[in-house]
Structure 1
Amino acid sequence: MSFVTPSRRRLLQIAGASALAPGLSALRRHGVVGRVLAVSDMHSAYERIGQLLAAFEGEVRSQAVPHVIAIDGDIFEHGDVVAVRSGGAIDWAFLAEAARLAPTVVNIGNHDNDLTPDLAEVVGRMRSIGVVVVSNIVDTRTQAGYAEPVANVAFGSRSLRVVGMATNALNTYPQASRAQLSIPDPAEWAGARLPGLLDGADLRLVLSHAGVAADKTILPLLPDGSLMIGGHNHLLFQHRQGRSAYAHTGSWTNAYTVAEYLEDGTVTVASRPVATEAAASPRLRNLIAETLAAHLTDEDRVVLGASPRALSLGDTGRRVATGLADAAGADVGFIGHTTLGMGAPAGAVSRYVFDSIVRFDGSLMVADAPRAQVEGFMARANQDRPMPLEERSGDFLYGAAASAPMTAAIEDDRVRIVTTDWCAANQGEYFGTTGLQFSEVADRKVKAVSIAALLDA
């Protein structure tokens, strides 16, 4: 059985094209009203956060126009032991420096109270360092919003109206906080509230941490010439709708998006990569080094193995998917896209670094399905490729065949698949069906299998 997945070379070509084509900023510099530097799903990615701040500093210095920094949720990461032990010291310093650099707006995501379960405390601290917060999440203790869902931000002589909304997938928020959160269905909320919130605005920015599925319903509500930044799905793409622009900015601080509001009412967007080898901002460089040194233990620093070469996030996911299939004796493996954080780097990989590659552990689950159905699963998998917006599902799987498929061991028209317990439990979102009958694979765990698949011992 053969399943086709994108090659790494092709994906790099795609990434380069998407970074250059949408904006053509050098040709459009004349007539720029202002620029938004947007990022989402940062997840305490300390290997790049200093470089991201340096990139923002360079962007603001390079263009003598108003700037706003927009962060569309998930700044913090409970899976990062340094973030947890330091109370997110590096993340908070980044926010403070961003607010000094340019007006900074945060839309609350489902991981922003990872380190401080009471979201009211998080919002209060953000405001205390000069960050503007928008959110449509309601505090069940007071029946008031944790923040207003709309804010007007000075944009030079103009004004930028910013609206923020969150995902209502309550099971993705820290468990200790869920009873304190009331979150409306984002598409329904936008249908009822968004037109009124945007009415009469000068310039418009919608920050949605609701994911692509909801965003596709929200996009038609936007007045022409708006900007919408999406998050939650860890995607990187741009989409044009008339004079409006819609973009997902990547994840794990591997990229950010530059949006330009032009005098003719058009908004353009372009992605910029953030390289680990770039220089970090001196405003964060020492703090990052000191915080890592203070909070990493000998166990965190243990080298689990070596990665033969650097892999993109998608290629990392497909390599792990193959490893899951091999370990479970299945034909095809699947792993959820947000189970992964960053792509595997080249060289020695410590436990701390590996936990940023594969974020969550869990059991392996197998099921048998008709070959045609599995081909359908593969067709909707690997959404780290260019594809029409209408075909994007938001949550998606990385999928790949086993090294040596075992099709002969089961009926000829059926295929054995393996995935994680999370994806099995949420198969409707990931596979587009609820009819798969999964059973657990004994003595196999996601992280241990992933280490074997990615690293040379």
Structure 2
Amino acid sequence: MPAMFLHRRAFLGLMSSVALLPILARASNAAGSGVDLIILSDLHSAYERMAELLQAVQTHVAAASRPQVILFNGDLFEIGNVVAARSGGEADWAFLGALAKLAPTVFNIGNHEPDLDNDLAHFVEKARSLGVTVLSNITDKRTGQLYTDASATLSVGGLRLRIAALGTNAMGTYPKPTRELIDAPQPVDWARQNLPKLLQAGDVNIVLSHAGVVPDRDILPIVPDGTLMVGGHDHLTLVQESGKTRYVHTGSWASLYTVATISAPGEAARLEQRPVDRDGPAVPDLKSVITTLLARHLTPEDRSIIAQCEHARTLGETARFTAAAIAAKAGADLGFIGHTSFGTGLPKGEISRYDYNANLRFDGKIMKAEVDAATLAAILARCNQDGDIPLATRTGDFLYSAPTPVAEKQSYVIACNDWSAINRKSYFGREDLAFSEVADLKLKALVAEALNKA
């Protein structure tokens, strides 16, 4: 497995660029009351914005008038990023170490932490060595013990923060070798048994959940009013208010971060979500580390141009384009593909294989099925949840669909990638869809072809 250690010169250079900021922040924070919680989640080795995200967090911490705590809710790494894989996550570790120098940093283990080294014990050890507080409710089957504590208590800004953390039990989302080493409990059952003991009235209660929206919805009634609950895993951007409790997802791929300000125990957190511009200011040392790693690890094949985009597309636009391309190539009425199949949207201009793979994360076969009009209507009611969707109707990782179906047909042919077909219950909401493979079609190739024809 790749070694997960920084080159000393790169790491020390990055650390020196932020070393003075905690001192300055502490001096300026003395007059402030309460605490700012800087929330990050689901970065997935997003090297196109990682240095820009670090600059935004640095700037906020340096200018803050109250103490800061950084909450990272899982998925630092991405095995699909060949530079991350080939370098052992050198830039990712530099980023995490820099965060820990800025402010107390608490990290909840997600399902991608074992992407680059399949043993979570190694992640815990390395992250702790950087000064990070690592939390998880996942058990190491080899020892029968938790990999790390499932909760922590911090005293910050005159407040006591009680932080509890839980992961996803969707075992298929962990690397295959890791599945044999871990036991991830059912999230709602674990929450019922543990959160009443871990969260206490009179303190600031925080839950970091990488379980996803569907179990989180059943966990929310368990937590005390005034809890800040941070969701992840589904790559969503949302804020849900219930009494004084706040439930927040802060997107993915370093596209934004959230600042939650809490002034007193039991008070509702004030939330501000801040976008990160991929062309914005960046921490020079981390930018240099990433540039050097790209030069060192990208092959001519990785750099080869495989598609052209006449204009930039958001994630949602890219996903709908992909769904329509699947339908057209498969001869179907509608195409479908899952939200977390994508990292970020496509930039304008030439798209290298490396950048393309950061956008469309997974390849796969194409599957088809025939459905009647009533079945299609029920499926479409679950799709395209990237708008203002009530929490009660969210399904977590949802399907995009395109194009708009032709009206008044008795039956329709639908097509999707094989992951969506395999997981039809969670995506389509039903088990009775009879999919068959479309011969000689692969997802990434057909989408690249469609982009070049657009």
- TM-score under structure 2 normalisation? 0.91
What SS is found at the alignment partner of 1:380?
A: coil
1:147 is aligned to 148
CA contact under 8 A between 2:104 and 2:132: conserved in structure 1?
A: yes
| In 2, Cα distance between equivalents of 1:210 and 1:57 | 29
After superposition, the C-alpha distances for 1:52-77 in whole angstroms (9 at most, x for unaligned) are 10010111122210111111111000
State the distance in 1 between where 2:382 and 2:126 align: 41
Q: TM-score, normalised by structure 1?
A: 0.90
Distance 1:155 1:350 in 2: 45
Q: Which residue in the other structure is 1:318 paired with?
A: 320
- RMSD, aligned α-carbons: 1.6
Residue matched to 1:9 = none
Local SS of the residue matching 2:432:
coil
Take 1:188 and 1:58, find their aligned partners in 2: how far apart are those partners?
40
Match of 1:235 in 2: 236
- Specify the code of the residue in structure 2 equivalent to 1:446: L
User: 2:17 corresponds to which residue?
Assistant: none
C-alpha deviations, 1:88-124, integer Å up to 9, x for none?
A: 0000000000000000011000000100111000110
Aligned partner of 2:220 in structure 1 is 219
Quick one: distance in 2 between partners of 1:37 and 1:214? 24
Q: What does the per-residue CA deviation read over 1:254-274, in whole Å, with 9 as the maximum and x for residues that have no partner?
A: 111111103472212121111
Give the equivalent residue in structure 1 for 2:416. 419
The CA distance in 1 between the partners of 2:177 and 2:226, in whole Å, is 40
The alignment partner of 2:96 has SS state of helix
Deviations 1:420-457 (A, max 9, x none): 11110110000000000000001110101111233459
**Is 1:359 equivalent to 2:356 in the alignment?**
no
Contact kept, 8 Å, 1:135 with 1:165, in 2: the verdict is: yes
CA distance in 2, matches of 1:362, 1:201: 51
Cα distance in structure 2, aligned partners of 1:229 and 1:384: 18
Q: CA deviation at 1:377?
A: 1.4
In 1: Cα distance, 2:38 partner to 2:382 partner: 30
- The correspondence for 1:333, drawn from 323, 335, 344, is 335
Residue 375 of structure 1 deviates from its aligned partner by 2.0
Partner of 1:89: 90
Map of 1:124 onto structure 2: 125
Q: Which residue of 2 aligns with 1:267?
A: 269
Deviations 1:214-259 (A, max 9, x none): 0000011111211111000010111111112110110111111111
Is the contact between residue 238 and residue 270 of structure 1 (CA under 8 Å) also seen in structure 2?
no
Counterpart for residue 41 of structure 2: 40
Residue 31 of structure 1: how far off its partner (Å): 8.1
Worse-superposed segment, 72-81 or 201-210: 201-210
Q: What is the identity, as a one-letter code, of the residue corresponding to 1:280?
A: A
Partners of 2:89 and 2:202 in 1: CA distance: 35
Secondary structure of the equivalent of 1:136?
Answer: coil
Distance in 2 of aligned mates of 1:101 and 1:244:
27
Distance in structure 1 (CA, Å) of the matches to 2:128 and 2:342: 31
Counterpart for residue 57 of structure 1: 58
2:295 paired residue number: 293
1:73 maps to 74
Identity score, percent: 46
What amino acid sits opposite 2:403 in the alignment? A
Say which is worse superposed, 277-286 or 346-355, in terms of deviation. 277-286
Displacement of 1:407 after TM fit? 8.9
TM-fit CA distance, 1:200: 5.0
Partner of 2:6: none
Distance in 2 (CA, whole Å) between partners of 1:400 and 1:406 is 11
2:428 is aligned to 431
AA in 2 matched with 1:46: Y
Offset, 1:374: 1.1
Instruction: Tell me, in whole angstroms, the C-alpha distance in 2 between the residues paired with 1:188 and 1:455.
Output: 49
User: Could you tell me how far apart the structure 1 residues matched to 2:268 and 2:363 are?
Assistant: 44
Q: 2:442 aligns with which of 428, 445, 453?
A: 445
SS at match of 1:58: helix
Counterpart residue identity of residue 280, structure 2: A
- Show the counterpart of 2:10: none
Distance 2:120 2:257 in 1: 25
Residues 366 and 416, structure 1, Cα contact 8 Å, conserved in 2: yes
Deviation at 1:154, TM superposition (A): 3.1
1:407–1:415 CA contact under 8 A, matched in 2: no
Query: In structure 2, what residue type is equivalent to 1:394?
Result: G
User: Secondary structure of the equivalent of 2:34?
Assistant: strand
**Contact 2:33/2:157 (CA < 8 Å) preserved in 1?**
no
Residue ranges of structure 2 left out of the alignment (5+ in a row): 1-30
Q: Deviation at 1:303? A: 0.7
SS of aligned partner of 1:419:
strand
**CA distance in structure 2 between the partners assigned to 1:123 and 1:438 by the alignment:** 41
Q: Which moved more, 1:157-166 or 1:67-76?
A: 157-166
Q: Equivalents in 2 of 1:441, 1:152: separation in Å?
A: 53
1:177 is displaced (CA, Å) by: 1.1
Deviation, structure 1 residue 298: 0.9
Could you tell me how far apart the structure 1 residues matched to 2:103 and 2:268 are? 22
**1:224 partner amino acid:** D
Label 1:94 to 1:289 Cα distance change in 2 as closer, same or farther (>3 A).
same
Indicate conservation of the 8 Å contact 2:32/2:66, yes or no.
no
* Deviations, residues 171-207 of structure 1 (Å, cap 9, x unaligned): 1100011110001100110011111111256211110
Deviation, 1:159, is: 2.1
Shift of 1:291: 1.0
**Residues 315-371 of structure 1: per-residue CA shift (max 9 Å, x gap):** 110000000000000000000111111111111100000001111011000001111
Shift of 1:292: 1.0
Distance 1:455 1:114 in 2: 32
The list of structure 1 runs, each at least 4 consecutive aligned residues, that deviate by more than 6 angstroms after superposition, is 405-408
List per-residue Cα deviations over 1:297-323 (Å, max 9, x = no partner): 111000112111111111110000000
Q: In structure 1, how many angstroms separate the alpha carbons of the residues matched to 2:272 and 2:331?
A: 43
- Asked whether the equivalents of residues 70 and 106 of structure 2 are also in contact (C-alpha less than 8 Å), the reply is yes
Q: How far apart, CA to CA, are the structure 1 residues paired with 2:32 and 2:79?
A: 43
How many angstroms does 1:378 deviate by? 1.6
Structure 1 unaligned blocks of 5 or more: 1-29
Relative distance call for 1:361 and 1:407 in structure 2 (3 A) is: farther
Query: In the alignment, which residue of structure 1 is the partner of 2:3?
Result: none
- Partner SS state of residue 180, structure 2: helix
